[in-house]
Amino acid sequence: MLLEVNGLCVNYGHIEAIRDITFSVEEGSIATLIGANGAGKSTTLKTLSGLRKVRAGKVLFEGDDITTLAPYERVKRGISQAPEGRGIFPGMTVRENLDLGAYVRKDRKAQAFADDVERVYTLFPRLQERRTQVAGTLSGGEQQMLAIGRALMARPRLLLLDEPSMGLAPKLIQQIFSIIAEINEQGTTVLLVEQNAAQALKRADTAHILETGEIVRSGTGAELAGDDSVRAAYLGG
């Protein structure tokens, strides 16, 4: 198992944001966490990337305990995140943002680095067209592409995606999810947090529903998408 989360509890002060959640992500798969605003989805990803401290429980990556590992050390281990709200560097160019995504790498002058830049441009041709453009002037969809591309520059084995469809037009949402599927087909494991449950469940191998900091349902994406209670609560029918 690539990622194992065991009994994870996370607080914001005295408020419990996550209570005793347990799940795993198999290598090569797409897993998703869905739920309403405030359910604890983004907190979970921040904790996995090392940005939130754990009150109780453990996070294992390839069987190793990384619960207290610093964020940059997790990137070195193969965990990279495209955060909620994109988090690009607006005053830097597209290419400079991509270079920053590879800050832990030591092979920037090697062919492998150039190949990874080309991979991002192949996945997102708009980024190649705008490689010298200041990132803050990109459209919302282009900024989301840049956030994902920057995360890929770390060569992650596990890509954490936090609300990649947020604020995007329906046509762009479809495009982003198609690219996520392609990234997975190329060998990168994906853990996806999403409010667009229909798109997430359509592509997920495994799915978990978070409600007020707890996992209340788990199954395959197809199982949850076909469940009447899930459809009524998250799929609008």
| CA 235 to chain CA mean position, Å | 21
* pLDDT value for 74: 97
| CA 167 to chain CA mean position, Å | 16
Q: From CA 87, how far away is CA 138, in angstroms rounded?
A: 13
| CA 169 to chain CA mean position, Å | 19
Q: How far is CA 200 from CA 55, 195, 232, 235, in A?
A: 29, 8, 16, 11
Residues in a beta bridge with 10: 18
Phi and psi angles of residue 95, each rounded to the nearest 5 degrees, phi first: -65, -40
* pLDDT value for 110: 80
Question: pLDDT 10s digit of each residue in the chain, 237 long?
Answer: 999 999 999 999 999 999 999 999 999 999 999 998 889 999 999 999 999 999 999 999 999 999 999 999 999 999 999 998 889 999 999 999 999 999 988 887 789 899 999 999 999 999 999 999 999 999 999 999 999 999 999 999 999 999 999 889 888 999 999 999 999 999 999 999 998 899 999 999 999 999 999 999 999 999 999 999 998 888 775
* pLDDT value for 131: 97
> How many Cα neighbours within 13 Å face the side chain of 93?
9
What domains sit in the chain, N to C, each tagged with a CATH number? 1-78+157-164+191-237 (3.40.50.300)
Q: How long a stretch of residues is the chain? A: 237
Dihedral (CA of 52, 57, 60, 65) sign:
positive
* pLDDT value for 92: 97
Helix runs in 54-105, H state only: 71-77, 94-101
Phi and psi angles of residue 221, each rounded to the nearest 5 degrees, phi first: -60, -40
Place of tokens 């305990």: 65
* pLDDT value for 68: 97
End-to-end, the C-alpha distance of the chain in Å comes to: 34
